[in-house]
Structure 1
Amino acid sequence: MGNDDPSNDFDDYEKDFESAVLLIEDIKRRCDAKNIKYSDKSSKEDFDIDVRIHFPAGRDTKDIVLYDLDDIKTFHSINFEDYTLVGNYAAIVSYGSDIIEAVITAPSSTVGAYRVIRKNLGLFPQSSLNRGVVLESDSSDGIIIKLKKTSVEVRTLTQPDNLGISIEISNSGVKTNQQAIDILKKYSDSLFFAIDVQRNIYLSLVRRQQKRKYARPQEHEVPLEFPRSFYEGAPIDLFWYARSAARMPLLQFLAYYQSIEFYYPVFYNADVGRRVKSILKNPSFRLDNESDIARVVAVIKSNGKGFASEKDQLKATLKECVDLQRNLTHFTV
């Protein structure tokens, strides 16, 4: 019966609060030294801890909420002064260390995203998770990408919902928050697109307060490589939007189509260029022959209206990008 004395709980709460107060004061001192704003509404009367750090995120700030002794201890234990939040992502950047780290998820997965990501990226068993997957650039820039267990820093400063995998980009020469956003998007878009194509798993960067849906783990033998292909912002954003609309097929089709449509002029003009070149290289072609010139003009004008039809542009794009001989076998009966 002696262990049920309510005064014991009171003493524990009081000790925890007193320990927290000492750490909070030191956190405030460190924040003041770096001009980081904060608010402290902790109450000694009911031993309630309520500290909000208005943490820098480019030109804005995001609140990091600390509401118990564990939060306070963890925040106090890291060199939070060395980091800045990256845009609206669950991501941090250290300019001094030249490291960007962002939490990732698998939005369309119907099972635990953490397990799906670990399985598909080769992060099982635990020893593999601890090592991470390291991808090094083969150019002289020395950029390194690592898929790994989230650091205590990114977990503490972004406070994601129980996700433990991140993408880390180092040696990028990042100097500003906008650069951090651009670099993070550039390399994550390229790598995640390759993973989606090779392993059929849709990964994305976690945004702060983002709700997530959870893809079936699969075994894969294709090794991950450092990103070599990079994509325009508009079509890749449409592609990710389509990937996230798994339960809305019409919307998904439209987004996929629009991501392809973005490249119509590029591939159609390339097709026109080849056809014009073919005519010009023909030994029988003569500049003083009106019919030969008319053939060139007809190719350029396409359907005679001065511009190509959408159907012609789609045909040219598919011709450029799809191995019809190989892929049409999927439609044979």
Structure 2
Amino acid sequence: MITRLPLAVYIETNTTKNREQLQRYAKSYLFNIAYNFDFVFKAVTEIDDLFPQRTSLPRRRIQNVSELMAPQLLYKEQLVEQYYMALTSEEPFVKFVGFYHIMEHFYEEVYNEDVFKSVQHIIQHPGFSAKRTKDIVKIVDLIKKKNRQNKEEFQGSELEALELTLKKFVDISELVNDLTEFSNSIVDHYKLSEVSFSKGDTVDLRDVSNEKLYKKLAARIYKTRNALVHSKSNEGRLNERGVYNPFVNSQELTMEIPLMRYISEAIIINSASPL
């Protein structure tokens, strides 16, 4: 019987660092390992932590650990935890939802930024006057429209917030490059194939001149997310937006995971702060 010993990462410093600093730096380095090798380490707090989980990709981003550089960024811990959950799961449902939570993290922030910019655009216009009722009403109507879909934890349109999040953090050209390295045919799959169980939109990621590209991408993701998490809705709503059946649709959902993963990685990286 052969027992495989657990792997460990040991990090040391030549300069004085407090415990909190070392933990933050270590977490950044561990994310870089997960990003490049698809291998998740976690801090040891109990005996079960000595046995890390892993999943496999067709290829690694780098082939030799000696090529791995020290991290230059500090990543948001909540996002990295969701990333690890998705990465280590074998279930496409868990992967999709985990990656979606990373996008969802910024909904309120990007939506409020958009409302602020819209109001700012109105009041900075040379024709605006705070002394005219109709100009003030214009601002009030804008805010009402933006908040027309109230949620328990988020006020606004989640679909619009997803689109704004994608626009802020995701470069479509880089996304296409990542997807193409993963599979030569997967970008065409998103262009030609609707997500059948959710009616998720087809999206041509190479059509960067299309002003509605981010909107189409957001619609594909959001409709699929709804089909996953709203499976107990009433029959009429299910017929309208579809429902995920894990025994029938698992393979189809698996095709969406590379898209979700590379978008999530872009968000984690582009929302990080310098180390």
TM-score normalised to structure 1 length? 0.42
Q: Per residue, is there more strand in 1 or in 2?
A: 1
Greater gyration radius: 1
Larger RCO (alpha carbons 8 Å, 6+ apart) = 2
- When you count helix as a share of all residues, which structure comes out higher? 2
The TM-score with structure 2 as length reference comes to: 0.49
